[in-house]
Amino acid sequence: MGLIAVIVLVVLGNSLGPDKPSTANADTAAASTSEATAAAAVAATEAPPTLPAAELMAKARDKSLPTSERLEQLRLISENYPKSSEANQATVLRPELEMQRNTELNPVGQQWSYAIQEDGMSGKFMRTASVSSTNGFHFDFPYEGRQQARLLIRRHPRWGNDVILSIERGQILCSSYGGCPIRVRFDDEPARTFKGNEPADNSSEMVFIPGYDNFARKLATAERVRIEFNVYQQGAVVADFDVSGFDRKRLTQ
């Protein structure tokens, strides 16, 4: 009887087996997921309502709004109301706003560096404006390596006003009888020749260009200045400067 009882228990256990998962619960979960996905898809396709063309144009003309936002209003007008009178207005206004945005992203005059320093001997202030050349130079040994020229406009309480051209390394050629020959060209004007002056300490990396008042006046309206000078063992070198946005008032305040 003991053996028969064991066999019966084994047979019953195999017939019952482990609990099987409920297919009803799985179907319910799948249905819920499908409904949620469908709802999300519908929500994604429902864009916010577009304002009337007149309101969009009013926002585009609102100067208190960021330029990028005003341009977005013009885009919405062209996209949603292409045949409206506002679309024609948008076509006229867009170039102005695009130019304004470009100016905001690339402000004129940002290449200039301005500085104020107290002159210890007079107690007054020296003011300078400087800009680096847009082109670079590669001189021979021992001045090898890329370098740029620098244009400095200086107002000094004791030494007066100066226009100074300098390089990082090298020897700007000057002579005791002819000075330092310099040629300067503003924008597309004819180049003018100047007799530059050596610094008092006889350093060879800089030269003083005469005619401060005229030079500074021209800088105020010029976009580009090219300065040609001679460098030892290199010949004539031309430094090209972007001088747009020069603010002369910052040297007189």
Q: For the segment 114-127, what is each residue's pLDDT rounded down to a tens digit?
A: 999 999 999 999 99
Identify the three-state secondary structure at position 89.
helix
Q: Is the CB of residue 171 less than 8 Å from the CB of residue 203? A: no
Q: Is the CB of residue 167 less than 8 Å from the CB of residue 205? A: yes
Is the CATH number 3.40.50.300 carried by domain 113-251? no
In a structure prediction context, what are the per-residue pLDDT tens digits for the chain, which is 253 residues long? 454 444 444 444 444 444 544 444 545 544 455 555 555 554 444 556 789 999 999 999 999 999 999 999 999 999 999 999 999 999 999 988 987 887 777 677 889 999 999 999 999 999 999 999 999 999 999 999 999 999 999 999 999 999 999 999 999 999 878 889 999 999 999 999 999 999 988 899 999 999 999 999 999 999 999 999 999 999 999 999 999 999 999 998 6
Sole residue written with tokens 């005469």: 210
Q: Is the CB of residue 131 less than 8 Å from the CB of residue 113? A: yes
Q: Is the CB of residue 211 less than 8 Å from the CB of residue 78? A: no
Distance of alpha carbon 4 from its chain centroid, rounded? 93
Q: For the segment 162-219, what is each residue's pLDDT rounded down to a tens digit?
A: 999 999 999 999 987 888 999 999 999 999 999 999 998 889 999 999 999 999 999 9
- Does the global pTM surpass 0.85? no
- Domain ranges in the chain with CATH number 2.60.40.1880: 113-251
